[in-house]
Amino acid sequence: MQHSRAPSRIRRRALLGATAGAALGWLARPRAAGALAPGVVLEDVQSTYNHVRVVEHGAVRTMYFIGSNGMQYIESRLDRARPTSLDLDYTRTMMAGFLFNPAPRRLLMLGVGGGQMSNYLYARFPSLEIDAVDIDPEVIRLAIKYFGVPADDSRYRTHAADARVFVERARPEVRWDIIMLDAFRGVFVPYHLKTFEFYRACLERLTPGGVVVANLHNITRMYPHDRQTLAAVFPQRYSFVSEGGNQTTFVASASPRRVGLYAIRQGARAAQPRFDMDMLGLASRYYYRTDWETSYEVLHDDFKPDELERAAERHNETCIRNCRYTP
């Protein structure tokens, strides 16, 4: 059912609260945030969509998104002494999708950043085909120039496009085994990438055993809305807490069959040869409890299907203070 009404008071309060949190530095891109890091600024770019800064400190190269309040948020980090490892906590936790599908053939990464996760998987799964989508061509350019994303590779395809439009406009026969959601617009996730209709479009693009993997910051006001919305779409859902504890990797399955802890551990053993991290340790961070208020409403699109591209442009406008997701 298509909803074109404006958000309710509950939705508006949640959205405003979440974006206000971003201005304080605790929502944004749930990674480390703070003052300018020491090191050499390799490039500082104000694109149509983002203020992006690439900084190098010794062997560590970091891509930051700069908020309108001057706060900078870690978008991606590469330790060039360990170029095929995952440097950030949340990226390691997002490998939980491979506990359910340890041998995927096709992966869709929504949100490129510096390509940390997609580069890692490209190196460790020689037959994996990757489609990496980012709305900002400048982010893709910087990822290629400074972070090792291939410029021209038939197995690792980059696309400068809005994630929602890309998913909905994909050819009907195209299906992915894993869809990873990490598409931040500056320091927030655009509203049209958080709705029932978007998650349903992702579900329709999965193979029968496919999973969607999302990184959620579990202390924001948006978290209950995210969980309720995801639960309304996907037959099976699984939660994994990050090493730091304030992020949840949410694995949503297209399969109607529930996977138990024993099978998750089997998946960890099957996936382990491809990874340099402890997959059984990751499996142990699976939790079943309900850690959100279940009275929160499911988020729906505030536009009609034929208005998708115009709505995507509207929702992609940078918004930190006094945010309005509706006309």
Give me the CATH number covering residue 214. Answer: 3.40.50.150
Q: Is pLDDT at 29 greater than 90 in this prediction?
A: no
| Residue 220 binned pLDDT confidence (cut-offs 50, 70, 90) | confident
Which residues have CB under 8 Å from 6's CB, separation 6+?
A: 302, 326
Tell me if 59 is assigned to some domain.
no
Domain of residue 217: give its range. Answer: 9-29+84-315
Mean pLDDT of 228-256: 94
Q: For residue 155, how many other CB atoms are within 10 A of its CB?
A: 12
Among the listed ranges 80-84, 198-202, 204-208, which one has the minimum average pLDDT value? Answer: 80-84
Is 44 among the domain residues?
no
Is the confidence at residue 99, as pLDDT, over 60?
yes
**Residue 170, amino acid:** A
- Name the DSSP class of 194: S
Domain presence at residue 65:
no
> How many Cα neighbours within 13 Å face the side chain of 256?
0
Residue 56 lies in a domain: no
Q: What was the pLDDT predicted at 19?
A: 31
Q: Report pTM.
A: 0.86
Residue 57 resides in a domain: no
3-state SS, 27-78, equals CCCCCCEECCCCCEEEEEEECCCCEEEEEEECCEEEEEEECCCCCEEEEEEE
Domain-embedded: residue 179? yes
To the nearest 10°, report the CA torsion of 309, 177, 94, 225: 50
Cβ proximity of 18 and 220 under 8 Å: yes
| Cα–Cα distance for residue pair 117/124, rounded to 1 Å | 11
User: What's the whole-number mean pLDDT along residues 145-162?
Assistant: 95
Q: According to the per-residue pLDDT averaged within each range, which of 12-21, 96-105, 210-219, 290-299 is highest?
A: 96-105
Residue located via tokens 């979440």: 18
- Domain assignment of residue 130, yes or no: yes
> Could you tell me whether strands 286-287 and 236-241 are parallel, antiparallel, or unpaired per DSSP bridges?
antiparallel
Q: Number of structural domains, the chain?
A: 1
Has residue 138 got a pLDDT over 90?
A: yes
Residue 322 has pLDDT above 60, yes or no: no
Question: Is 322 among the domain residues?
Answer: no
Per-residue pLDDT tens for 258-308? 999 999 999 999 999 999 999 999 999 999 999 999 999 999 999 999 999
